[in-house]
């Protein structure tokens, strides 16, 4: 009789423990505690060309991370430019396969470490019999919980190239329109993107370091107009002012927004 009375609380305790553990895992997944930066990667992979990749991970949390592993997830090919751009931010296609790489040691708070992996067996992709651009999701895990993620494309050639590959770089500098129909400059992403360390600032900084290599640069007219403080004529009576953008900009005497100046840059001829 005693055992029957205790079995209910024990089962409830186990269930609550599992729920609490799941909630902690969910919070860890929603709040990555490791920043990751790609250091090197195979230019292309194939039947006799393994995937080799290295990245630096920095523990930005206040706790040490142990039970480390690197998981490389291969997603279905990105067959358009728009899908490719989406794949750099999220899982734009379905998962095909994954490769786990257990790691030794721990990552202390504030510590940085370089991880290197090599995947020799790419038979899953070989059996697909196609040359394609596969998005990769590289996860650093602690106790099987993702603590950081890195996304990068992988070129897979089903046949070895008979001539050298011609590669081209295209850099697209663009921003969504932040003017409303009355010509008022609304809050948006442009201020953060052109600020030091922002998305566009990082692209310009990278361009300044590539030397004389030829690249294709596409600049959106919308970005140029907004950066220059130009705005379309309002559909109705002029608005009495504009909205300062994120504390970085202000209003010119005629009501046009004034943005922070972007860094100067140079590109290859």
Neighbours of 74 (CB within 10 A): 22
pLDDT attached to residue 173: 84
**Fold classified for 32-157:** Immunoglobulin-like (2.60.40)
Q: What is the pLDDT of residue 37?
A: 93
- Backbone φ and ψ of 15, nearest 5°: -65, -45
Q: Are 74 and 96 in contact (CB under 8 A)?
A: yes
The structure tokens listed for 71 are: 């998981």
Secondary structure of 72-115 in the HEC alphabet?
EEEECCCCCHHHHHHHCCCCCCCEEEEEEEECCCCECCCCEEEE
The answer to whether 149 and 55 are in contact (CB under 8 A) is no
Q: Residues of the chain whose pLDDT is less than 50?
A: 1-29, 232-269
State both tokens at 25.
């895992």
Output the CA angle 267-200-28, nearest 5 degrees. 135
Question: Is the distance from CB of 41 to CB of 55 less than 8 angstroms?
Answer: no
Domain with CATH 2.60.40.10 in the chain: 32-157
Residue with tokens 């990082």: 202
Give ∠ CA 262-248-175 in degrees, rounded to 5.
55
Q: pTM for this one?
A: 0.62
């Amino acid at each position: 009789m005693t055992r029957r009375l205790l079995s209910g609380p024990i089962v409830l305790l186990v269930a609550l423990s599992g729920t609490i553990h799941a909630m902690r895992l969910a919070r860890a997944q929603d709040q990555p505690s490791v920043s990751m930066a790609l250091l090197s990667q195979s230019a292309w992979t194939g039947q006799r060309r393994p995937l080799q990749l290295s990245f630096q991970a920095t523990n930005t949390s206040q706790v040490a991370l142990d039970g480390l592993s690197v998981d490389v997830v291969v997603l279905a090919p990105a067959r358009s430019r728009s899908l490719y751009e989406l794949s750099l931010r999220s899982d734009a296609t379905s998962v095909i396969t994954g490769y786990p790489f257990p790691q030794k040691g721990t990552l202390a708070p504030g510590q940085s470490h370089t991880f290197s992996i090599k995947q020799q067996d790419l038979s899953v992709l070989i059996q697909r019999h196609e040359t394609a651009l596969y998005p990769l999701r590289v996860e650093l895990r602690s106790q099987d919980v993702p603590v950081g993620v890195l996304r990068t494309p992988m070129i897979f050639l089903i046949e070895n190239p008979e001539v050298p590959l011609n590669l081209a770089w295209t850099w697209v500098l663009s921003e969504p329109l932040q003017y409303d129909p009355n010509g008022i400059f609304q809050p948006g992403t442009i201020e953060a993107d052109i600020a030091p360390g922002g998305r566009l600032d990082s692209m310009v900084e990278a361009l300044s370091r590539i030397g004389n290599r030829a690249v294709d640069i596409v600049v959106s007219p919308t970005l140029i107009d907004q950066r220059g403080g130009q705005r379309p004529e309002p559909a109705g009576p002029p608005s009495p002012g504009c909205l300062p953008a994120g504390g970085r900009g202000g209003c010119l005497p005629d009501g046009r927004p004034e943005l922070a100046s972007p860094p100067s840059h140079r590109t290859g001829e």
